[in-house]
Protein backbone atom coordinates (compact mmCIF):
# COMPACT_ATOMS: atom_id res chain seq x y z
CA UNK A 1 0.00 0.00 0.00
CA UNK A 2 1.50 3.32 -1.02
CA UNK A 3 -0.73 5.67 1.00
CA UNK A 4 -1.93 4.31 4.35
CA UNK A 5 -3.55 7.63 5.33
CA UNK A 6 -5.74 7.59 2.21
CA UNK A 7 -6.65 4.00 3.13
CA UNK A 8 -7.59 5.17 6.67
CA UNK A 9 -9.89 7.87 5.26
CA UNK A 10 -11.37 5.54 2.62
CA UNK A 11 -12.19 2.84 5.19
CA UNK A 12 -14.05 5.41 7.30
CA UNK A 13 -15.83 6.81 4.22
CA UNK A 14 -16.88 3.31 3.08
CA UNK A 15 -18.09 2.35 6.57
CA UNK A 16 -20.23 5.50 6.67
CA UNK A 17 -21.77 4.68 3.28
CA UNK A 18 -22.51 1.14 4.52
CA UNK A 19 -23.95 2.57 7.80
CA UNK A 20 -21.56 0.50 9.95
CA UNK A 21 -21.21 1.13 13.67
CA UNK A 22 -17.47 0.34 13.77
CA UNK A 23 -14.58 -0.01 11.35
CA UNK A 24 -11.22 -1.74 11.90
CA UNK A 25 -8.11 -0.04 10.51
CA UNK A 26 -4.45 -1.14 10.64
CA UNK A 27 -2.68 0.95 13.26
CA UNK A 28 0.15 3.48 13.07
CA UNK A 29 1.12 6.44 15.26
CA UNK A 30 -0.20 8.98 12.73
CA UNK A 31 -3.52 7.14 12.32
CA UNK A 32 -3.95 6.97 16.11
CA UNK A 33 -3.39 10.74 16.31
CA UNK A 34 -5.86 11.34 13.48
CA UNK A 35 -8.45 9.18 15.25
CA UNK A 36 -7.80 11.15 18.46
CA UNK A 37 -8.46 14.44 16.63
CA UNK A 38 -11.63 13.07 15.00
CA UNK A 39 -12.85 11.97 18.43
CA UNK A 40 -11.99 15.29 20.13
CA UNK A 41 -13.71 17.27 17.37
CA UNK A 42 -16.87 15.14 17.66
CA UNK A 43 -16.75 13.43 14.26
CA UNK A 44 -16.58 9.92 15.76
CA UNK A 45 -17.83 8.38 19.01
CA UNK A 46 -14.39 7.12 19.93
CA UNK A 47 -11.74 4.55 19.15
CA UNK A 48 -9.85 1.69 20.80
CA UNK A 49 -6.47 0.17 20.09
CA UNK A 50 -6.82 -3.59 19.60
CA UNK A 51 -3.64 -5.44 20.55
CA UNK A 52 -2.25 -8.22 18.32
CA UNK A 53 -3.57 -11.74 18.83
CA UNK A 54 -2.58 -15.17 17.54
CA UNK A 55 -5.05 -14.74 14.64
CA UNK A 56 -4.00 -11.18 13.83
CA UNK A 57 -0.33 -10.25 14.20
CA UNK A 58 -0.82 -6.47 13.72
CA UNK A 59 -2.32 -3.83 15.98
CA UNK A 60 -5.72 -2.42 14.90
CA UNK A 61 -7.66 0.76 15.56
CA UNK A 62 -11.38 0.11 16.06
CA UNK A 63 -13.24 3.35 15.26
CA UNK A 64 -16.82 3.80 16.52
CA UNK A 65 -18.67 6.01 14.03
CA UNK A 66 -21.12 8.68 15.13
CA UNK A 67 -24.63 9.06 13.69
CA UNK A 68 -27.63 11.29 14.43
CA UNK A 69 -31.04 9.88 15.38
CA UNK A 70 -31.96 10.04 11.67
CA UNK A 71 -28.87 7.87 10.87
CA UNK A 72 -26.98 10.79 9.30
CA UNK A 73 -23.23 10.58 9.81
CA UNK A 74 -21.42 13.29 11.77
CA UNK A 75 -18.83 13.24 8.96
CA UNK A 76 -20.09 14.79 5.73
CA UNK A 77 -16.76 14.53 3.93
CA UNK A 78 -13.12 13.47 4.23
CA UNK A 79 -10.39 14.62 1.86
CA UNK A 80 -6.71 13.68 1.67
CA UNK A 81 -4.70 16.83 0.90
CA UNK A 82 -1.00 15.99 1.05
CA UNK A 83 -0.23 12.81 -0.89
CA UNK A 84 2.99 10.80 -1.28
CA UNK A 85 3.42 12.16 -4.82
CA UNK A 86 2.58 15.75 -3.94
CA UNK A 87 3.21 16.89 -0.38
CA UNK A 88 1.56 20.11 0.75
CA UNK A 89 3.38 22.17 3.37
CA UNK A 90 2.16 25.56 4.57
CA UNK A 91 3.21 28.17 7.14
CA UNK A 92 0.87 28.86 10.08
CA UNK A 93 -0.60 31.93 8.36
CA UNK A 94 -1.71 29.93 5.31
CA UNK A 95 -3.42 26.93 6.96
CA UNK A 96 -6.76 26.70 5.15
CA UNK A 97 -10.13 26.87 6.88
CA UNK A 98 -12.55 24.11 5.92
CA UNK A 99 -16.16 25.04 5.12
CA UNK A 100 -15.64 28.59 6.42
CA UNK A 101 -14.36 27.33 9.76
CA UNK A 102 -17.07 24.68 10.23
CA UNK A 103 -14.73 21.81 9.31
CA UNK A 104 -11.33 20.69 10.56
CA UNK A 105 -7.91 20.65 8.94
CA UNK A 106 -5.53 17.98 10.28
CA UNK A 107 -1.93 19.23 10.24
CA UNK A 108 1.27 17.32 11.01
CA UNK A 109 3.65 19.82 12.63
CA UNK A 110 7.00 19.70 14.37
CA UNK A 111 5.01 19.75 17.64
CA UNK A 112 2.85 16.77 16.69
CA UNK A 113 -0.40 16.21 14.85
CA UNK A 114 -3.01 18.89 15.57
CA UNK A 115 -6.00 20.68 14.12
CA UNK A 116 -5.47 23.66 11.84
CA UNK A 117 -7.01 25.93 14.48
CA UNK A 118 -4.52 24.76 17.14
CA UNK A 119 -1.60 25.06 14.70
CA UNK A 120 -2.60 28.65 13.81
CA UNK A 121 -2.87 29.52 17.51
CA UNK A 122 0.54 27.93 18.24
CA UNK A 123 2.07 29.68 15.24
CA UNK A 124 3.42 26.52 13.62
CA UNK A 125 2.98 25.35 10.07
CA UNK A 126 3.42 21.88 8.67
CA UNK A 127 2.05 19.29 6.31
CA UNK A 128 -1.70 19.41 5.67
CA UNK A 129 -2.71 15.76 6.03
CA UNK A 130 -6.49 15.90 5.54
CA UNK A 131 -9.66 17.96 5.72
CA UNK A 132 -12.83 16.81 7.50
CA UNK A 133 -16.28 18.41 7.45
**CATH number, residue 40:** 3.30.1370.30
Domain identity same for 56 and 83: no
Flag whether the pTM goes above 0.95. no
- Tally of structural domains, the chain: 2
CA gap 63, 40 in Å, rounded: 13
User: Which of the four pLDDT bands, split at 50, 70 and 90, describes residue 53?
Assistant: confident
Domain identity same for 30 and 54: yes
Domain identity same for 10 and 55: yes
pLDDT of residue 1: 74
Structural domain span for residue 27: 4-65
Q: What residues pair up with 112 in beta bridges, in sequence order?
A: 109
CB 127 within 8 A of CB 92: no
| Tens digit of each residue's pLDDT (9 = 90 or more) over 58-84 | 999 999 999 999 999 999 999 999 999
CB 35 within 8 A of CB 63: yes
CATH of the domain at 125: 3.30.1490.10
| Tens digit of each residue's pLDDT (9 = 90 or more) over 80-125 | 999 999 999 999 999 999 999 999 999 999 999 999 999 999 999 9
Domain identity same for 53 and 99: no
For range 19-31, the mean pLDDT: 96
Task: Give the residue among 12, 15, 34 at the shortest CA–CA distance from 82.
Answer: 34
CB 50 within 8 A of CB 61: yes
**What length is written for the chain?**
133
Sort residue 103 into left (φ over 0), alpha (ψ -120 to 50) or beta.
Answer: beta
Judge whether 71 lies within some domain: no
CA gap 94, 74 in Å, rounded: 27
Amino acid sequence: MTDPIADFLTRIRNAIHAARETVDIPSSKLKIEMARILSEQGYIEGFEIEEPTADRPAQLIRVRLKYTDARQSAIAGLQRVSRPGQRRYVPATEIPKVQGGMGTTIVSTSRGVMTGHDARRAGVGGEIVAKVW
